[in-house]
A and B are shown apart, each in its own frame.
Chain A
Amino acid sequence: MMFCDHCGERLDSGVHTECEKRRTLEPPRYCPQCRRRMKVQVTPRGWTATCSRHGETDSPS
């Protein structure tokens, strides 16, 4: 994981504790491997995030 999936910035470029806190009520928006903006579908009990290069990630069940 090189990038923050909430803000898209490099994980080693600053503090992301606020991002982590926000992620408890938000799905990921950026691919953690390449920082592309992902297509995210939120459903009543989960979410799916898709990166055009790195594929699909689902919410933890």
Chain B
Amino acid sequence: MNDVLTTAREQVLARGDGLAEDQLFEVLSLPDEAIPELLELAHEVRMRWCGPEVEVEGIVSLKTGGCPEDCHFCSQSGQFESPVRSVWLDIAELVRAAKETAATGASEFCIVAAVRGPDERLMSQVRDGIAAIQAEVDINVACSLGMLTQPQVDDLQEIGVHRYNHNLEAARSHFPSVVTTHTFEERWETCLMVRDSGMELCCGGLVGMGESLAQRAELAAQLAELTPHEVPLNFLNPRPGTPFGSLPVMESEDALRTIAAFRLAMPRTVLRYAGGREITLGDLGTRDGLLGGINAVIVGNYLTTLGRDVEEDLELLGELRMPIKELSKTL
């Protein structure tokens, strides 16, 4: 067995202490031949510290496109020549989307807006939307509305937002190559406010954006430092018209190493498959990731792109004997 995996077995599996950044770099540098052993260990860690359940979530875009920020991976920025046009979802459609999500057995429904941070119009729409969902649908509501002020954090907590998503997106050292309209520190601040509010913090990132392996390890370590309840792991899906539109799709072996490394960095977190898994990993890789540290999935479509067929994902979970986490257990 490789040295770092021997150490991980003792440190992470037995004691529940995540690997440090230098150890994560070693994991990410493992040769392809070591991947099966790495995934097996990451799976054991997930089973030991999280259990066999898988948390299922659906997401919807409340406000699409026209974002003033310049996140280089995002087709919703108003600064790039992207074919995505600005559009708002009304409350009736939002409630319908929540119902569709709940019907899959999901326990979480996340409302997302492409903004720097919410203005009063958006906060009002979110308040009305959440009240309408809570009146008709039995599901936890999460939000992702960009950077927040403390009063907005308090408002969201008060109206019953269960979890708030705000990704770091990239490691601190790589961030200026990914976003120039706000800083890593601004993102970090919102994450700290959310974490201290009583809402659960959902904070992840994207890989495959030209970062080095050291920067990938750095991202995992910085996420671990925030101790988020959930980490959504996105793989870059290069979007036409964006600055990252011509980057190559990440190799599936690298994606699997990253999944396992994130699990070994954060043994107890909800580690969720988010965007880009379909083009990066395909069907077989999706299965490998679920047996390599992942314990949550976004089912159905994403914000501007489409996902795998919901029924295929649910069948796969059944086949792997991974029960869907029930709503009552997350309340």
Contacts and interface: CB of A to CB of B under 8 A. Distances in A.
Bind each other: yes
Interface of A: 7-8, 24-27, 29-30, 37-47
A30 B85 contact: no
Contact of B93 (A26, A37, A39, A41): A41
Interface residues of B, number: 30
Contact of B87 (A24, A39, A45): A39
A39 B85 contact: yes
Given A26-B306, A27-B304, A42-B303, 16 more contacts: A7-B240, A24-B306, A26-B304, A27-B305, A27-B306, A30-B83, A39-B86, A39-B87, A41-B87, A42-B61, A43-B93, A43-B100, A44-B60, A45-B300, A45-B301, A45-B310
Given A8-B83, A25-B279, A45-B310, A40 B93 contact: no
Interface string B289-328: 0000000000111111111001000000000000000000
A25 B87 contact: no
Contacts of B59: 44
Contacts of B306: 24-27, 42, 47
B85 A46 contact: no
B301 A43 contact: yes
A44 B101 contact: yes
A40 B85 contact: yes
A41 B64 contact: yes
A42 B93 contact: no
Contacts of B303: 42
B85 A38 contact: yes
A22 to B, nearest CB: 9
Contact of B278 (A25, A30, A41, A43): A25
A25 B305 contact: yes
Given A44-B59, A45-B300, A47-B301, A37 B85 contact: yes
A14 B66 CA distance: 31
Contacts of B93: 41, 43
A56 B52 CA distance: 43
Contact of B83 (A37, A43, A44, A45): A37
12 contacts: A25-B305, A26-B304, A39-B87, A41-B61, A42-B61, A42-B303, A42-B306, A44-B60, A44-B301, A45-B310, A46-B301, A47-B301
A27 B256 CA distance: 27
B97 interface: yes
B192 interface: no
A8 B303 CA distance: 21
B83 A42 contact: no
Nearest to B278: A25
Interface string B71-115: 000000000000111110100010011001100100000000000
